[in-house]
Structure 1
Amino acid sequence: MARNDSLKMGELTDAYYYILLSLINPKHGYLIMKSIEEMSEGKFSIGPASLYTSIKKLLDAELIKLTEESEQKKIYITTDKGIKFLKNEIERKRKMIEIAEKVFNYKEML
């Protein structure tokens, strides 16, 4: 599936996932990037070009919205639709992990 189709399919790329999660509380671009690095413990980062491309797509899909704008900063927040999308993605990932644990008998290997 092409990345552009993931939102249409009801699935989130890692970038979309972390941006939506980061924007549970309002943030501007630089703070979004720092928040993502912090919450992922440095395992995921996003650069400015990718961030703002993703923000545009999330705005178009109404998963985030602009809450405040000044000459220097735009502040975004996840919408109710975005929160629902995020919760669905979390459940989808939980099911994927559950399947993997069954396949690999993960619990027995511990």
Structure 2
Amino acid sequence: MTDTQPRDLLPLTEPVFHILLALVDDERHGYAIMQEVRTRTEGDVNLAPGTLYGAIKRLRGLGLIEESDTRVDPELDDERRRYYRITGLGERVATAEASRIASLARQAAAKRLLPEWGAV
């Protein structure tokens, strides 16, 4: 995947973008990803296990995330849990997607579809 450019992988699906966002600031296991997304979106997005783990498999295959060997506290952690972290490419793709979405929001605001933004 060394020749892959972030824009080549856009647009991202909503679940994939949320997973990358969940991993930007910390390594997490699957259930923790689901909890972080639910909390951050105030319950608007709930990732079902099939959606989550299917997306994780695809993200790993694309080199956007990788499995981590580290554990927060091995004494308190279940060894069956798999922890994931975002890769450099994953961060670049997440940044490109955030920029794409921000551009769309600016365009919508210019068309007065987002009155709380005012004229941009």
User: Normalised by the size of structure 2, how large is the TM-score?
Assistant: 0.78
Deviation at 1:8, TM superposition (A): 4.9
SS at match of 2:84: strand
Partner residue in 2 for 1:72: 80
Deviations 1:19-71 (A, max 9, x none): 00111211111111001101111111101111000000000010000012875
Tell me the percent identity. 27
**Structure 2: 5+ residue runs without aligned partners?**
1-6, 71-77
Partner residue in 2 for 1:11: 11
Flag as ranges the 4+ runs of structure 1 deviating above 4 A: none
Give the whole-Å Cα distance in 2 for the aligned partners of 1:9 and 1:56.
15
Are residue 61 (structure 1) and residue 69 (structure 2) matched? no
Amino acid at match of 2:18: Y
Amino acid at match of 2:46: S
User: RMSD of aligned C-alpha atoms?
Assistant: 1.9
Contact 2:9–2:93 under 8 Å retained in 1? no
User: Normalised by the size of structure 1, how large is the TM-score?
Assistant: 0.84
Partner residue in 1 for 2:104: 96
Aligned residues between the structures: 102
Are residue 38 (structure 1) and residue 39 (structure 2) matched? yes
Give the whole-Å Cα distance in 2 for the aligned partners of 1:87 and 1:16.
13
Amino acid at match of 2:83: I
Larger helix proportion of the pair: 1
**Structure 1: 5+ residue runs without aligned partners?**
1-6
SS at match of 1:23: helix
